[in-house]
Amino acid sequence: MFRFTTPPRLSCFLAAVTLAACVPAQDDDDDLALDLDLTWEEEDDDDNEQPQDAEEVYVLWQRSVTINGSMSSCSYDGGEDWPWTGDNDNYRVEIPEAGYVEVILEWQSNSDLDLIIFFEPPGSTAAPDWFSNASLTEGPEQYLFDEPLARGDDIVVGVSCASGSSDDYTLEVNWET
């Protein structure tokens, strides 16, 4: 009886060619595999003070993006228009796909940080759509959008320091269908 055997090197080559032929081509950004959890470092603490000039978080993300930032000063005067007179950090985040979004602010010190949400980038005036104004000296503070957002929607997420010393924080934006 005649039996044909494939040399080991040729077997590996044939297996690699067969597997490569089964992998779909990825030609555009929509088909690219994205990291599930990404980190963004605050670029310039002086240029994201106003919600209208929020720092753009340019990163392709899929499940969550964590923004690492820091506060340089803290103050709160209780005024009606905009009570936070210390450092304010604002970030503009594009939603990757239709779904629900949750934002979590976390810090580890005795500072009173507040989370601020703008449902879309503000124009010339900046009245937040939601903000936490609790006197908390530890996190987390969080906000869950009660309606799903559409792919490509932009939100502006802000962090303000009402009292305490300068502080580092993480701002996590989570998305799911």
Q: Which residue has the higher pLDDT, 169 or 17?
A: 169
Residue 21 lies in a domain: no
**What pLDDT sits at residue 147?**
93
Tens of pLDDT, residue by residue over 55-77, are 998 877 778 889 999 988 888 77
Residue 9 lies in a domain: no
Amino acid at 118: F
**What pLDDT sits at residue 45?**
59
Residue 88 lies in a domain: yes
Q: Residue 169 in 3-state DSSP?
A: strand
Residue 7 lies in a domain: no
Confidence (pTM): 0.74
Cβ(96)–Cβ(154) below 8 Å: no
Q: Which residue has the higher pLDDT, 2 or 44?
A: 44
Could you tell me what percent of the chain has a pLDDT over 70? 75
Residue 90 domain boundaries = 28-176
Residue 43 lies in a domain: yes
E strand map for 3-61: 37-41, 55-56
Residue 155 lies in a domain: yes
Confidence of residue 44 (pLDDT cuts 50, 70, 90): low
**What pLDDT sits at residue 133?**
72
Q: Which residue has the higher pLDDT, 139 or 143?
A: 143
Residue 165, domain CATH: 2.60.120.380
Cβ(174)–Cβ(66) below 8 Å: no
Residue 99 lies in a domain: yes
Strand order in the sheet with 88-94: 55-56, 88-94, 154-163, 112-118, 130-131
Confidence of residue 135 (pLDDT cuts 50, 70, 90): confident
**What pLDDT sits at residue 80?**
66
Q: How many CB atoms lie within 10 A of CB 131?
A: 18
**What pLDDT sits at residue 105?**
96
Total count of domains within the chain: 1
Pairing of strands 100-107, 141-144: antiparallel
Residue 15 lies in a domain: no
Tens of pLDDT, residue by residue over 78-110, are 766 667 777 889 999 999 889 999 999 999 888
pLDDT, averaged across the chain: 77
